[in-house]
Amino acid sequence: MAAKSQPRPQSRVRPVSARLRTRLHDQQSEPDHRELSIDKVGVRGLRFPIQVRDKARSVQDTVATIGMFVDLPKEFKGTHMSRFIEVLNAHGSVVHVENIPDILTAMQERFQAATSHLEMEFPYFMVKRAPVTGKEGVMDYTARFDAAACGPEIDFVLTVKANVTTLCPCSKAISARGAHNQRSEVTVQVRFTRPIWIEDLIAIIESSASSELYALLKRPDEKAVTERAYDNPVFVEDLVRNVALKLNAHPDVRWYKVEAENQESIHNHNAYACIKKG
């Protein structure tokens, strides 16, 4: 009679994930003895698709360069950087602006942090018509969100950058022919009581200069833009004051910072001015 086979002992091999948890040392979780807390630690330079509100088309898809940070108490050696990406991915393949408070809260919870920070900078596109021919062209601007949570309180700053043309009033006054002009970059940062359209801040900037810029100009348009700038000379000081006056009149703006930098066409330096409120 054939001998009965003995039952094989069950394998005691642990899953790979369990072995890794045992084998891999978590150095970031070690205590630190230098008694120095860190205000912000995290990741920066992450590119990710987002959706923002568009006044003309409801929403606009774009790509943001993102930074995510939390505070680190003095007793901890480091932060687990991968968790920032996990928090971002948990909100879907596209981040909506309305998710920003949720992302800030999720970072606080995931890292057991008192504060969290999120920065998002992205190109924003608008279709503009040339002033005479009406030819359409796509203009790109730079927008940025800086959001921070301290406990349950959230601070939000909207930044918009736009280029414009300024024509020098002094050059016009002293020259028999023409006047020098320059391209100016204007940066406006605002805190608000109710959300403000990016397009509205762009309109405030462009209407404060000698002339706005266009993506597409035919000869009749170029003539009109050149003459408009000549008839409306603006120093860099005038530019920031013009923007500030319009922001002062806006019912939803409670704080702002306006900067303008002229890339001078006949000087080997730039001209700069800044106004802050609040």
Q: Please answer whether residues 187 and 202 qualify as being in contact, where contact means their C-beta atoms are separated by less than 8 angstroms.
A: no
Residue 94's pLDDT is what?
Answer: 86
Q: Could you report the per-residue pLDDT of 91-150, keeping only the tens digit for each? A: 888 888 889 999 999 999 999 999 999 999 999 999 999 999 999 999 999 999 999 999
97 secondary structure, DSSP code: G
Residue 3's pLDDT is what?
Answer: 47
Residue 13's pLDDT is what?
Answer: 55
Secondary structure string (H, E, C) spanning 41-92 = EEEEEEEEEEEEEECCCEEEEEEEEEEEEEEECCCECCCCCHHHHHHHHCCC
57's CB contacts (< 8 A; 6+ apart) are none
In a domain, 173, yes or no: yes
Residue 35's pLDDT is what?
Answer: 76
Q: Please answer whether residues 106 and 87 qualify as being in contact, where contact means their C-beta atoms are separated by less than 8 angstroms.
A: yes
Total domains in the fold of the chain: 1
Can you give the pTM of this predicted structure? 0.86
In a domain, 102, yes or no: yes
In a domain, 15, yes or no: no
Q: Which residues of the chain have pLDDT under 50?
A: 1-4, 11
10 Å CB burial of residue 133 (0-12, 13-18, 19+) is middle
In a domain, 11, yes or no: no
Residue 73's pLDDT is what?
Answer: 83
Residue that is written with structure tokens 């900078």 in the block: 121
In a domain, 268, yes or no: yes
Residue 93's pLDDT is what?
Answer: 82
In a domain, 157, yes or no: yes
Alpha helices in the chain (DSSP H): 16-23, 82-89, 100-111, 169-174, 198-206, 219-231, 236-248
Residue 2's pLDDT is what?
Answer: 42
Q: What is the CATH number of the domain that holds 167?
A: 3.10.270.10
In a domain, 263, yes or no: yes
In a domain, 112, yes or no: yes
Residue range(s) defining the domain that contains residue 256: 35-277
